[in-house]
């Protein structure tokens, strides 16, 4: 059974990926400092997979602690690196925290991987690297643009670091997955997104409003150049996204690709924010109290993925619908409420 280190494995996308790794026959080992997650994610994972999953509670920017983990976990076949801060607004206020954590953890990880001869890395990147694209849908050839937040810049810098490492001729090869908008939760409702404080993403805000934790949800702007005037995104089910990581690690382990490869991971369908809200209402039967507000600074008007490369090269295809994603997010919210 191949052992894969999953940094940030207690987080939203990480926890779903750990489940998919176990289901695909891998042995995932989590590293997380729980700065943006809770121990209950581990219990949820274990309840789904029906066996214990090891977790090292350490900070990935701590090189000595990371070395210690690599020593205690001999025979790692590869690493999936999720650990990072991700709040765009906070990154504007505290840029150094973001550079330290997101860039620092990758540098430490690559150093320690080199020392222990672990050669395969999947990295969590983002469609934020495309900025406001001139042409849609975006392909992997769409130019990477100046980031409009320190968070976005950390993803751009991390991709550059991976490229430089590949160009240096080391034996480390990596795949950067550029996620579009992951939503939803595991169908068991045992793991899902756990936003600390006020959510900045649409779907947790929707579910928290629907359950009565928040009074109303504001849709930021209805005067964009889109069919209903609201922004367009490419929402994909988090379980579908998790599966892309399994396929990426498999590609790395069979040495099928280049030293560094980039893939868009989305559905390829652009959906407006208003359509997403309506899909939630349809999927759950719950009416949402929403209003239209002014545009929000920094929002990209429309972005969705061209998924030709990920389909042709990785053989990847999303399978779950927007309604399924919304229903699963709602079931997760209800289960959170019931566990209070």
Ligand X SMILES: NC(=O)c1ccc[n+]([C@@H]2O[C@H](COP(=O)([O-])OP(=O)(O)OC[C@H]3O[C@@H](n4cnc5c(N)ncnc54)[C@H](O)[C@@H]3O)[C@@H](O)[C@H]2O)c1
Tell me which of 56, 86, 186, 243 binds ligand X, using CB under 6 A. 86
Could you tell me which stretch among 66-74, 113-121, 178-186, 307-315 binds ligand X (CB under 6 A)?
A: 178-186
Contact assessment for residue 54 and residue 30, using Cβ atoms and an 8 Å cutoff:
yes
Residue 252 and residue 78 in contact, taking contact as beta carbons nearer than 8 Å: yes
DSSP conformation class of 9: T
Question: Closer CB to ligand X, residue 31 or residue 206?
Answer: 31
Q: Report how far residue 78's alpha carbon sits from residue 144's, in angstroms, rounded to the nearest whole number.
A: 27
3-class DSSP state of 138: strand
Least distance to ligand X from the beta carbon of 295, Å?
Answer: 20
Taking the least distance from each CB to ligand X, the nearer of 70 and 168 is 70
Shortest Cβ 45–ligand X spacing (Å): 12
DSSP letter string over 63-110? HHHHHHHHHHSTTEEEEEE------HHHHHH-HHHHIIIIIHHHHHHH
CB of 123 to ligand X, least distance (A): 8
Catalytic residue among 98, 151, 235, 316: 151
| DSSP class per residue in 249-298 | HHHHHTT-S-SEEEEEES-S--EEHHHHHHHHHHHH-----EEEEPPPTT
Which tokens belong to 187? 């169908």
Among 137, 152, 182, 221, binds ligand X (CB under 6 A): 182
Query: Minimal CA–CA distance to 273: which of 214, 330, 219?
Result: 219
Least distance in Å: CB of 169 to ligand X? 27
Asked whether the bond before 137 is cis by omega within 30 degrees of 0, the reply is yes
Tokens of 113: 């991987």
Q: CB nearer to ligand X: give 179 or 262.
A: 179
Active site (annotated) includes residue 151? yes
Q: Looking only at residues 6 through 65 of this chain, which bind ligand X when binding is defined by CB under 6 A?
A: 7-8, 10-14, 31-37, 59-61
Piece in contact with ligand X (CB under 6 A), picked from 70-78, 177-185, 214-222, 252-260 = 177-185
Our finding on whether 156 is near ligand X (CB under 6 A) is no
How far apart, in whole angstroms, are the C-alpha atoms of residue 28 and residue 120? Answer: 14
Residue list 186-245, contact with ligand X (CB under 6 A) = none
User: Do residues 329 and 183 touch, judged by C-beta distance below 8 A?
Assistant: yes
CA distance linking residue 132 with residue 155, whole number of Å: 15
Q: Give the number of residues written for the chain.
A: 340
Q: Point out the residue whose Cβ comes nearest to ligand X.
A: 11
| 27-31 vs 3-7, strand pairing mode | parallel
Closest CA to 197 of 208, 181, 189: 208
CB of 38 to ligand X, least distance (A): 9
- The residue among 179 and 263 lying less far from ligand X, judged by its C-beta, is 179
Place of tokens 């977790």: 55
Shortest spacing between CB 85 and ligand X, in angstroms? 6
Total interface residues for ligand X by CB under 6 A: 28
Nearer of residues 37 and 272 to ligand X, judged by Cβ: 37
Residue numbers 94-123 binding ligand X by CB under 6 A: 101, 105
Residues near ligand X (CB under 6 A) are 7-8, 10-14, 31-37, 59-61, 82-84, 86, 101, 105, 124, 126, 179, 181-182
> Which residues are tagged catalytic?
151
């Amino acid at each position: 059974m191949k052992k894969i280190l999953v940094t940030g494995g207690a987080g939203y996308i990480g926890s779903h990926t750990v489940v998919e790794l176990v289901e695909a026959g891998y042995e995932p080992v989590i590293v997380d400092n729980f700065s943006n997650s809770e121990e209950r994610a581990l219990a949820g994972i274990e309840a789904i997979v029906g066996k214990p999953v090891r977790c090292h509670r350490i900070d990935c920017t701590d090189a000595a602690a990371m070395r210690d983990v690599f020593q205690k976990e001999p025979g790692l076949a590869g690493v999936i690196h999720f650990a990072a801060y991700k709040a765009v607004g906070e990154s504007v206020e505290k840029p150094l925290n973001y550079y330290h954590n997101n860039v620092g953890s990758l540098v430490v990880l690559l150093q320690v991987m080199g020392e222990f001869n672990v050669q395969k890395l999947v990295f969590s990147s983002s469609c934020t690297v495309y900025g406001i694209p001139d042409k849609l849908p975006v392909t992997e050839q769409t130019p990477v643009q100046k980031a409009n937040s320190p968070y976005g810049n950390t993803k751009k810098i991390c991709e550059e670091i991976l490229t430089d490492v590949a160009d240096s001729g080391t034996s480390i090869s990596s795949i950067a997955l550029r996620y579009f908008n992951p939503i939803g939760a595991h169908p068991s409702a045992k793991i899902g997104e756990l936003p600390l404080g006020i959510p900045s993403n649409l779907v947790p805000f929707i579910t928290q409003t629907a359950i009565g934790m928040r009074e109303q949800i504001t849709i930021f702007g209805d005067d964009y150049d889109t069919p209903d005037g609201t922004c367009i995104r490419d929402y994909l089910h988090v379980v579908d996204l998790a599966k892309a990581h399994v396929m990426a690690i498999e590609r790395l382990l069979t040495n099928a690709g280049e030293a560094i490869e980039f893939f868009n991971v989305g559905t390829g369908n652009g959906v407006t924010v208003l359509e997403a809200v309506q899909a939630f209402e349809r999927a759950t039967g719950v009416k949402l109290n929403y209003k239209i507000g002014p545009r929000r600074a920094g929002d990209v008007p429309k972005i969705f993925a061209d998924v030709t490369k990920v389909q042709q090269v990785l053989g990847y295809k999303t399978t779950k619908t927007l309604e399924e994603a919304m229903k699963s997010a709602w079931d997760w919210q209800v289960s959170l409420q019931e566990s209070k």
